[in-house]
Chain A
Amino acid sequence: MKYIDEYRDPALAKALLGRIMQAARALDRNISIMEVCGSHTQAIGRYGIRKMLPGNIRLISGPGCPVCVTSIHDVDVGIHLAGRMGVIFATFGDMLRVPGTAGNSLQKLRAQGADVRVVASPLDSITLAQEYPDKHVIFMGIGFETTSPTIGAMVMRARKLGITNVSVFSVHKVIPPAMQALINDPSIKIDGFLCPGHVSIIIGAAAYTFIAQAGKPAVITGFEPIDVLDGIRMILEQLVEQRPAVAIQYGRGVSPEGNAKARAVLEEVFTAMDAEWRGLGTIPGSGLAFKEVYHDFDTLKRFEVPEIRSAEVKGCACGDVLRGAIVPDECPLFGQVCTPVNPIGPCMVSGEGSCAAYYKYR
C-alpha cells in the first residue's frame, strides 16, 4: 500500500535506532517521552517499539484516547439518553463497552432492547434520521480535533437538508489545553512530546508553540513504525542540541498551517467550554459546546436529563494512567481482575487505551 509499506522498512528502522542509541548515549540521563495520541500507543505496542529503545528512554502514554478521557458522568448521561423512548443512539464502536456507574454500559443496554447503533461516520446518523422519520437520532459526539470537524460538518449538512430529528450529545475535547495541564503539573516529568499526527492535520503546528516555549520538544508524528522511531529520534536530537522546537515528522500528512476550512466549521458550530477529563479533572476551555444558533442540534437542549450521581469504579487507576503518573501494570487490577474481556476501566476497553495496548502486547 502506497504511503504505508515504505514506512515499515526494517532497514530504515535499524538506521533510525542507530541514531536513537547515539542520542541516548549523548544525553546520559533518563528521558521520558509522552505519546499523546492513542493511535501512537497502539502503534508502539504493535511494533514492539518500547522494547527496542535504549534503557534510559521511557515512553509514557498520555490522555489521547477519547473514550478513556470521557468522564464517568458523561458516560452515564450517554447511557441514560440511549435508554429514552423513541431514540436511536448512534456512536463509534469504542464507546459501546465503556463502563459507567455500577458496571452499566451501552452494550448492556442494547442487550436489554435499547436501539444503540455503531456507526463509522457521523454522516450515518443523517441516513438513520432519514430512514426513521418518527424516531430521534442522538449521535454521541466524541473525539478530538480530528473528529469534531466531521460532526460539525454533519450538523451543517443536516440543517441544509432540513433534517430535524437528529441531535448531538457533544463530549468533544480539544488537545492543547490538556497538554498545557500536563506541563503545569509538577508531579509529572515529561522531557518531550510526540504530538498527535491526525489532530495536527486540523490544528497545525502553531498550536504547540507553548510546549517549545516551556523548553520541551514537540514533534508532530505519523503512525507507522518508521514515523514513530523518526519522531523519537527528532525529540532526542533536539534534547542533545538543547534546541526545543515544534517540528513536523509527519510532513506528508500535516501542513504547518493545518486545515483552515475544518477549523472554520468548528468555529461556525461550536464554542469552547470547560470540560471534565477523567484523570485530569476540569480543564478550562477544553470542551466544545454548541453555539446558540445550533441549539436545535444539541441533545442536551432537546432532552431534559435528570441529575445522575456517578461513581468511579473502586481501585481503577485509569485516571493516573491517563496522566502518565503510573504505567498500566502498576495498577493492582491490571491483568488480574481487569482484562480486555472483562474491562473494569475505559483504558482497558478501547484498543488504543494504554491498558489494553499493554495487555495485548506484553
Chain B
Amino acid sequence: MCIAFPGKIISIDADNFALIDIGGTRREVSLDLIDQDVTVGDYVIAHAGYALHKVDEEQAKEDLAFLQELIENEIY
C-alpha cells in the first residue's frame, strides 16, 4: 500500500496543488507535505494524493554510475 511513483511536475496552482505526469498518466497532487523547493520539471515521488519527496537527480546518477562499475568489474 506504500506504493508511490516518480512523476514530473507539469504545473503548480495557487492552492499548492501540482499536476504531475507519471508515464503518460496525469494526476493532481498536493504539495503541502513536501519539504523541499520544487518547480515545474522536477520529479516528485507521490503517494495517496500528496507529493512526499523530490527525486534527487544527482544521487540517482551517482548510484547508477556505481552500479555500472559493478558491470565493468564483473566477477564470477
Contacts and interface: CB of A to CB of B under 8 A. Distances in A.
Nearest to B56: A252
Contacts of A223: 3
Contact of A147 (B8, B34, B48, B71): B48
Nearest to B63: A251
A39 B3 contact: yes
B40 interface: no
Contacts of A191: none
B13 interface: no
A350 to B, nearest CB: 7
Interface in A66-116: 66-67, 92, 94
A2 B43 contact: yes
Contacts of A199: 2
Contact of A251 (B33, B50, B59, B70): B59
B12 to A, nearest CB: 16
A252 B49 contact: no
B36 to A, nearest CB: 9
A287 B69 CA distance: 43
Interface in B44-76: 45, 47-50, 52-53, 55-57, 59-60, 62-64, 67-68, 70-71, 74-76
Contacts of B45: 198, 201, 253
Given A18-B75, A198-B52, A4 B33 contact: no
A214 interface: no
Given A16-B67, A261-B34, A201 B56 contact: no
Contacts of A124: 49
A251 B27 CA distance: 24
B48 A150 contact: yes
Given A66-B1, A146-B2, A251-B62, A12 B47 contact: no
A271 interface: no
Nearest to B50: A150
A183 B43 CA distance: 36
Given A120-B48, A259-B52, A252 B63 contact: yes
Contact of A196 (B2, B6, B32, B75): B2
The winner among A18, A92, A252, A265 for most chain B CB atoms within 10 A is A252
Contact of B47 (A21, A146, A196): A146
A121 B50 contact: yes
A255 interface: yes
A317 B34 CA distance: 39
A15 B70 contact: yes
B6 A4 contact: yes
Identify the 7 closest CB pairs spanning chains A and B, nearest first: A121-B49, A261-B35, A252-B60, A146-B2, A251-B59, A1-B23, A198-B2
22 contacts: A2-B6, A12-B70, A15-B70, A38-B1, A39-B1, A67-B1, A142-B1, A146-B2, A146-B4, A149-B52, A150-B48, A150-B49, A150-B50, A198-B45, A198-B47, A201-B52, A201-B53, A223-B3, A230-B67, A253-B56, A255-B56, A262-B35
